[in-house]
Amino acid sequence: MNVANKTPFALTTPLYYVNDLPHIGSAYTTIAADVIARFHRLHDRDVLLITGTDEHGQKIERTAERLERSPQDHCDKIAAGFVTAWQQLKILYDRFSRTTSPRHTAIVQEFFHRVWEQGDIYLSQQQGWYCVECEEFKEARELLANHHCAIHINRAAEWRDEQNYFFRLSKYQDQLEALYEAQPEFIQPEIRRNEVLSFVRQGLQDFSISRVNLAWGIPVPVDPSHTLYVWFDALLGYITALLDPEEEPTLANALKKWWPINLHLIGKDILRFHAVYWPAMLISAALPLPGCVFGHGHLTREGQKMGKSLGNTLDPLVLVDRYGADAVRYYFLKEIEFGRDGDFSESRFVNILNADLANDLGNLLNRTLKMALKYCDGQVPIVSNSDIPAAHPLKCLGLTLGDRVAQAYENLAFSHACEAVLALVRAGNKFLDQQAPWTLYKQGNQATVNQILYTVLESVRLAAYLLSPIVPTTSSKIYQQLGFSIEFENGYSVPYTTHAQWGHLPGAQTLNTPQPVFQRLEAESS
């Protein structure tokens, strides 16, 4: 991902199933996507962040039935829950794609015809074990005893023996292998790419794209006694999302500005659909391919797999209520190397937030502001940058930090971005302790005091700016206390070219009253 050019950048989260309200897994993907989008907006890039809901299929039909709601009513309720959740998590999405919208049906029908015209769809007999929870046929060897699904261990897969329409995936074996070879960055990280390569090498089989006896779906355009398989329909939701709100729903309109999508961010469990089925469908329809599919890891709780059966699911909104959106966003991106599996532990959560944001960053600002009020009339000291030696411990780190952090964001290495910023903050605390400006002030050494306070305030500013995609509320508070009238929460474009540079804090700027920017957290037993 190169941020130097100003071409549009489109990225997606998965379109989430509406069998239930958002869980921490869906929140995780969405927070990461939002951080990437915010980072690109700082570069003044035209960004389109797509999220939404996947509303058809047997799983949703049965959920609605169980709750005695009509399927559409159920979908409307849960989709509204996603919108609220994303607002609370400070997600700035541009499009919310719902697969039950009539516009989506139009796109799916047109796409289906393209693939049909290619001769890539045919009718045949489907026999196999179907896990409704996964919405996927399983090989017998993938199942546990009594044909229970390995992911949904309480649920038995159901035997199906019916006529289905199939997509000719096998035809695209060579083209897919050539794609993975020619564009190694298409599947990331490396471990996921290897998984896909070994799956594809075993030989691709055609997959069924229609269901019979399923009312809740889009009818197959050439045979309305079938409905389309929910995944065939759902992946196309990414294309529907590209339409401008009032635009006629045609493929040509949808594809003209934002296609191909630069990045599909997903969890590793849905890698095959995105890295194998999806590009094959697109090649069949003669469309260019997305830039990258990134499959992140899974989250566990206190070391255990999360699930309703274990009763240990984690509601992201309970966490937000308790600790605030910034805390939730920071923990998951700082603590877990993106791409790997990771754990949520409440004590670790509280410790990390208190150490990094309340103590290291918050206290550094607080004590430096207090000193600036006392020793510098509440203003940013006027210091000429050229008077600060290049070897100065903070300047030296600060001069290259913007580039290093940009590189980390571009590589989706969020924890590295946080670490690099925190290294400057910690150096700031150490520097202040060593220099003891309170003593120098008493000795009448104002010029040195000015330089010390300037370099520390500037370090805090730079840290706040570079963390703003992750903790926009905290960064806004820091900027405001430093005297800027800038806020990051609503995606205000604050240019990277200037604000990520060391030395951007203007001398003589009036500072505001110090207030804690991040309240210390207390663990609550849930």
Q: Distance between CA atoms of 341 and 433, rounded to whole angstroms?
A: 38
The answer to whether 338 contacts ligand MSP (rule: CB under 6 A) is no
CA-CA distance, 426 to 356, in Å (whole number)? 9
Residue with smaller CB distance to ligand MSP, 415 or 480:
415
Among 239, 266, 440, 467, which residue interacts with ligand MSP (rule: CB under 6 A)? Answer: 266
Any contact of residue 269 with ligand MSP (CB under 6 A)?
Answer: yes
Choosing from 15, 209, 220, 371, the residue that interacts with ligand MSP (CB under 6 A) is 15
Q: How far is the CB of 64 from ligand MSP (least distance, A)?
A: 16
Q: Is 26 in the site for ligand MSP (CB under 6 A)?
A: yes
Using CB under 6 A as the binding rule, whether residue 298 contacts ligand MSP is answered as yes
Question: For the purposes of burial, counting CB atoms within 10 Å of the CB of 56, is it exposed (0-12), middle (13-18) or buried (19 or more)?
Answer: buried
Task: Match 């089925």 to its residue by tokens.
Answer: 277
Crossing angle of helices 393-410 and 446-467, in 10° steps, is 10
User: Taking contact as CB under 6 A, which single stretch among the options 109-117, 200-208, 231-239, 322-330 is the one that binds ligand MSP?
Assistant: 231-239
- Rule CB under 6 A: say whether 16 interacts with ligand MSP: yes
3-state SS of 270-311 is HHHHHHHHHHHHHHHCCCCCCCEEEEECCEEECCEECCCCCC
Span interacting with ligand MSP, options 14-22, 166-174, 218-226, 347-355, rule CB under 6 A = 14-22
CB of 29 to ligand MSP, least distance (A): 5
Binding window for ligand MSP (CB under 6 A); candidates: 10-18, 139-147, 327-335, 466-474: 10-18
- Three-class SS of residue 10? strand
Interface with ligand MSP (CB under 6 A), residue from 267, 291, 393, 507: 267
- Closest contact distance (angstroms) between CB of 490 and ligand MSP is 26
**Residue 62 within binding range of ligand MSP, rule CB under 6 A:** no
| Options 9-17, 196-204, 352-360, 466-474: segment touching ligand MSP (CB under 6 A) | 9-17
> And the tokens for 29?
């993907």
Beta strands in 18-110 (DSSP E): 47-54, 95-98
User: Closest distance between ligand MSP and the C-beta of residue 28, in Å?
Assistant: 5
Stretch that binds ligand MSP, among 266-274, 447-455, 483-491, 504-512 (CB under 6 A): 266-274
Residue 270 near ligand MSP by CB under 6 A: yes
Q: Is the dihedral of CA 455, 461, 464, 466 positive or negative?
A: negative
> Cβ atoms within 10 A of the Cβ of 363, count?
17
Q: Is residue 33 within the footprint of ligand MSP (CB under 6 A)?
A: no
Cβ contact 266:295 at 8 Å: yes
17 binds ligand MSP (CB under 6 A): yes
234: contact with ligand MSP by CB under 6 A: yes
Q: Is 306 in the site for ligand MSP (CB under 6 A)?
A: yes
- b/e map 67-100, b = 16+ CB within 10 Å: eeeebeebbbebbebbeebbebbbbbbebbbbbb
- The reply on whether position 61 binds ligand MSP by CB under 6 A is no
Residues in the interface with ligand MSP (CB under 6 A) total 19
Contact with ligand MSP (CB under 6 A): which of 10, 25, 243, 325? 25
Which of 28, 93, 111, 207: binder of ligand MSP (CB under 6 A)?
Answer: 28
d(CA 110, CA 104): 10
Nearer to ligand MSP, 299 or 462 (CB): 299
Chain Cα centroid distance, residue 507: 37
CA angle (507 as vertex; 371, 372 as ends), nearest 5: 5
Give the one residue of 9, 10, 14, 282 binding ligand MSP; rule: CB under 6 A: 14
Q: Which pair of structure tokens corresponds to residue 139?
A: 């090989």
Q: Say how many CA atoms lie within 13 Å of 189 toward its Cβ.
A: 11
Cβ-based nearer residue to ligand MSP, 54 or 120? 54
Q: Please, what's the b/e burial string for 479-507 (b: 16 or more CB within 10 A of its CB; e: otherwise)?
A: bebbbbeebbeebeebebeebbbbbbbee
d(C-alpha 93, C-alpha 101), whole Å: 18
479 in contact with ligand MSP (CB under 6 A) = no
Task: Please give the structure tokens belonging to residue 523.
Answer: 């663990």
Residues within the interface to ligand MSP (CB under 6 A): 14-17, 25-26, 28-29, 54, 234-235, 237, 266-267, 269-270, 298-299, 306
